[in-house]
Every structure is written in C-alpha cells, then in structure tokens.
C-alpha cells in the first residue's frame, strides 16, 4: 500500500485522503493517529505497530521534523527487533514507498503537519 500524495496536512493512500496523522500497514490504514504528548513518540503510541510486528518502522516526523523520538523509544524498538528509520515526512514517505516496492514488512507512521 503506497502513499500516492503528501503535502502539509494531507496524505492520499489508495485514493483515500486523510488530513490527520496516520499509520500505514501493508493491508490497511489506521487513521487519526494521536499521541498522548503530541510531539513525542512513545511505545504507548506504537501498540498497534508492535502487535503487527514489522521488520521496519518508518516514521515521518512532520514537515519540519518536530515530532521527537526519545532514546527510550528507539531502544525499546531495537529490543523487539523492529528497525527504525525516521525522517521529515516527505522523505519518510519516499523511503516507505521504496520499501513497499521491495515487498518488505514495513509500517509507516506519518505526522502530517509541523
């Protein structure tokens, strides 16, 4: 499931437009992805991702990279063998689409704004 379009505050996946943060799995989109602390990513925010068990999680930290990924979150992902790649959202989507083309077991979590 590739991302077709992205611009600040908007993403299109399989012809469907979303205007809130999303998590993209190979077979579905989890819309309206919210974090308890809006700009800090914790393992609590990734329960659905952990349950799926991807090999790779690609995080779009926002158009300007405002979403932070604390070291404890990075460490926890390493401990459960989920590789993490994080970039500003536009770049993260490019990486995500390339991974999908290679048919890798990848999940994308994208912050669409700041």
What are the pLDDT digits (tens) for 74-97? 999 999 999 999 999 999 999 999
pTM over 0.85: yes
What is the model's pLDDT at position 105? 96
Per-residue confidence (pLDDT) for residue 38, from 0 to 100 = 83
Q: Is the pLDDT of residue 6 over 90?
A: yes
The 3-state DSSP class for residue 11 equals strand
- What is the average pLDDT across 47-59? 98
pLDDT tens-digit readout, 9-47: 999 999 999 999 999 999 999 999 999 888 999 999 999
Q: Find the radius of gyration of the CA atoms of the chain.
A: 13
Mean pLDDT, to the nearest integer, of 41-54? 97
23, with CB counted inside 10 A (0-12, 13-18, 19+), is buried
Q: Do 110 and 92 contact (CB within 8 A), yes or no? A: yes
Chain Cα centroid distance, residue 109: 1
Task: Determine the pLDDT at residue 37.
Answer: 85
66 closest CA partner among 85, 41, 42: 41
């Amino acid at each position: 499931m590739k991302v077709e379009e992205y611009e600040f505050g908007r993403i299109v996946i399989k012809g469907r437009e979303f205007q809130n943060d999303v998590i993209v799995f190979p077979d579905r989109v989890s819309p309206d992805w919210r974090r308890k602390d809006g700009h800090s990513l914790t393992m609590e925010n990734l329960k659905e991702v952990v349950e799926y068990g991807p090999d790779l999680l690609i995080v779009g930290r926002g158009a300007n990279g405002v979403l932070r990924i604390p070291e404890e979150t990075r460490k926890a992902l390493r401990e459960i063998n989920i590789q993490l790649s994080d970039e500003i959202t536009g770049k993260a989507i490019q990486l995500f689409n390339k991974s999908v083309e290679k048919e890798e077991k990848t999940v994308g979590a994208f912050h669409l704004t700041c």
